[in-house]
Amino acid sequence: MLSDEMDVNAGRYMDGESLETLGDETFKLALRTASGEASKGERTGHAQVQIWRDWRRGAPLLETAQKTVPSTTGQPLATKPGDPISFRLDAYPTPNGYTTDQIGLIMPTSLCSGMPANVIARNLNERAHEYGVSRFVSLVHTEGCGSANAESLYFQTLAGHVRHRFVKGTVFLEHGCEKTHNDAIRLSLTKAGEDTQRYGWTSIQLDGGSDKVADNVTDWFDTRMGQATHPAREPVDAKELRLGVMTTGELPSGTAKVLVRLARDLVGTGATVVVPEGSNLMDCAPWRDELLADGAGSAPTTAYGNRIECPGLHVMEAPSNNPVEIMTGLGGTGVEIILVHVGDCPIPSHPMIPVLQISTVDKVIGRYRNDLDLIPDSTSGSRDQQETISQCLAETASGRYRPVAVDRGFTGFQLTRGLLGLSM
């Protein structure tokens, strides 16, 4: 064990230290800590919280487990032709196509490596410009040592994020004793056809502690991305846009029509729009009458957190109704902006992907006006509202507008556990 990082090295008992001596030392340390002395975790800025959520199954276990899950094709839904739309944004050219941001990613494999990943990302952000990126991000989550009965969701969501066009370089960080460790991630990526040599792999325990692993992460980025130049943005049209659309709570019919027409017109120009399964946007008449082609259904086209390859209108499977889990899944599909119509209360932003929050619900506006990015004028025509939202999307994608929640550091990232999953 890494004795220099532990408040008490209980392993000394195995080396012959008496239990009485260790117990007395631990008790005195507990008293000093309760009196205000900082623990080693407090001094290094490490803290973690494990969130328990109710098990989502609503039927007997055997029946739920045997339920047939419809397969997704990856092909977009058939849609009606859109109206001409004037939508331009400025994006970075990369070997994988245009993207609206460039970041360095530190991906903790478990809860226990999350806080060290945060500290490393924060330190690297002081030199982000040296690596040709706007920032470093760590996607800290609460999945303990990993997941049971939800590993496919876990793996595909992580894979979707590390393959995201935003990401210029990724280092995986394990603690070293978790169930879902680096080798488990590496094997999953290999099975998916990924070249695992393009990623960095570090371990707090194997590399010798948090300080050593921080040096190793920095060395990896120095080798792969050091002294890189940040490419200049270039003007591109709407076909380069990858947009996630969410709704929470009340959705006025007029706003639903605006969002549907926006999605139709963007898809008509070659953009990608992703809506989560179960969204009340799909319950409105314009979704059926103005967006979907005659006879087309709304079955999910892509799995939760799975990267989308074909542009068009997609529906992502959503095994949870938790908005942060849905947003995390959308991030894995490759969207570069998430547009949320708030019908109850604002939600945290994705740590990696800008989240624009708008509302046309009076009670929401009255209470959360300062937390919203845009309040479309519901008295204006639907075309004017659509144009206002489009302009805000373009400004955000081009890096000229920073959403409120992002600016305040109000972010959340949570891997879903699905119907049967448990965190370990």
- Residue 47 has a pLDDT of 65
pLDDT mean over 49-63: 55
Q: 59 falls in which pLDDT band (50, 70, 90)?
A: low
Alpha carbon 410 to chain centroid distance? 13
Residue whose structure tokens are 């002395």: 37
Structure tokens belonging to residue 257: 């029509």
- Closest Cα partner for 416 from 349, 329, 352, 340? 329
Structure tokens belonging to residue 33: 């800590």
φ, ψ of residue 165 to 5 degrees: the values are -65, -20
pLDDT mean over 71-96: 91
Q: pLDDT digit string (tens) for 381-423?
A: 789 999 999 999 999 999 999 999 999 989 999 888 877 766 6
- Residue 110 has a pLDDT of 85
pLDDT mean over 305-324: 94
Structure tokens belonging to residue 128: 């982000």
Q: pLDDT digit string (tens) for 33-44?
A: 999 998 877 776
- Residue 67 has a pLDDT of 46
The amino acid sitting at 381 is G
Residue bearing the bigger pLDDT, 88 or 143: 88
First to last CA, the chain: 21
For the chain, what is the mean pLDDT? 89
- Residue 128 has a pLDDT of 94
Q: 231 falls in which pLDDT band (50, 70, 90)?
A: confident
- Residue 5 has a pLDDT of 62
Cα separation, 365 vs 369, whole angstroms: 5
Q: pLDDT digit string (tens) for 287-309?
A: 999 999 998 999 999 999 999 99
Angle at 111 between CA 353 and CA 135, to 5 degrees: 30
Cα separation, 180 vs 201, whole angstroms: 13
Least reliable range by pLDDT among 20-29, 277-286, 344-353: 20-29
- Residue 65 has a pLDDT of 47
Residue bearing the bigger pLDDT, 128 or 47: 128
Structure tokens belonging to residue 307: 């990267």
Structure tokens belonging to residue 213: 């692993």
Greatest Cα pair distance, the chain, in angstroms, is 79
The strand pair at 272-276 and 312-316 is best described as parallel
Architecture of the domain defined by 237-407: 3-Layer(aba) Sandwich (3.40)
Residue 120 clears pLDDT 80, i.e. is over it: yes
pLDDT mean over 21-47: 85
Cα separation, 118 vs 238, whole angstroms: 34
Domain 103-230, CATH among 3.40.1400, 3.30.70, 3.40.50, 1.10.287: 3.40.1400
Q: In what order do the strands lie in the sheet with 242-249?
A: 312-316, 272-276, 242-249, 337-343, 355-358
Where in the chain are the domains?
3-44, 103-230, 237-407
Angle at 161 between CA 159 and CA 163, to 5 degrees: 70
Separation in Å, CA 96 to CA 90, 99, 163: 16, 8, 10
pLDDT mean over 127-154: 84
Residues across the chain: 424
Structure tokens belonging to residue 378: 């519901």
Cα separation, 382 vs 292, whole angstroms: 19
Q: What does DSSP assign to residue 288?
A: I
Q: pLDDT digit string (tens) for 374-384?
A: 999 888 878 99
